[in-house]
Amino acid sequence: MAIMPNQIAQHTVKNYKCSKCWGFLVKTWVTGPDGQLEKTPDGEQLADVKCREFPDHKGFVTQGWIERERARDFDNAFEVKRDLLKMGIITKDKAYGN
């Protein structure tokens, strides 16, 4: 659970994804034991930001970071296919689905 002021929570939900599954985040209001909304000392409402799929997870990443990781994964997969072709372990049909 990542509790933060509402303005920061809105920014986080809009601009970040879950660091575990790269899925969407959701914002819920924080309430006290009496059912009243919790607020910061400045009077701003508090919100809890969490992943839709893994609510107990607390890490966030940017979309740019996700795109860099996907590109790196694609590059690694290409290199592995190239090396397996060179070694004769797989054929071009297997590697590229032709």
Q: Say which range, 6-10, 25-29, 63-67, 89-93, has the weakest mean pLDDT.
A: 89-93
Q: Is 92 helix (H, G, I), strand (E, B) or coil?
A: helix
Domain that holds residue 13: 2-92
Alpha-carbon distance 6 to 40, whole Å?
10
Residue 25 included in any domain? yes
Residue 81 included in any domain? yes
Residue with token string 């397996």: 84
Residue 74 included in any domain? yes
Beta bridge partners of 28: 48
Residue 41 included in any domain? yes
Residue 98 included in any domain? no
Q: How many domains does the chain divide into? A: 1
CB-hemisphere CA count at 13 Å for 1? 7
Residue 97 included in any domain? no
* Predicted confidence (pLDDT) per residue in 22-81, tens digit: 999 999 999 999 999 999 999 999 999 999 999 888 799 999 999 999 888 888 888 888
Residue 13 included in any domain? yes
What pLDDT is attached to residue 91?
Answer: 84
Residue 57 included in any domain? yes
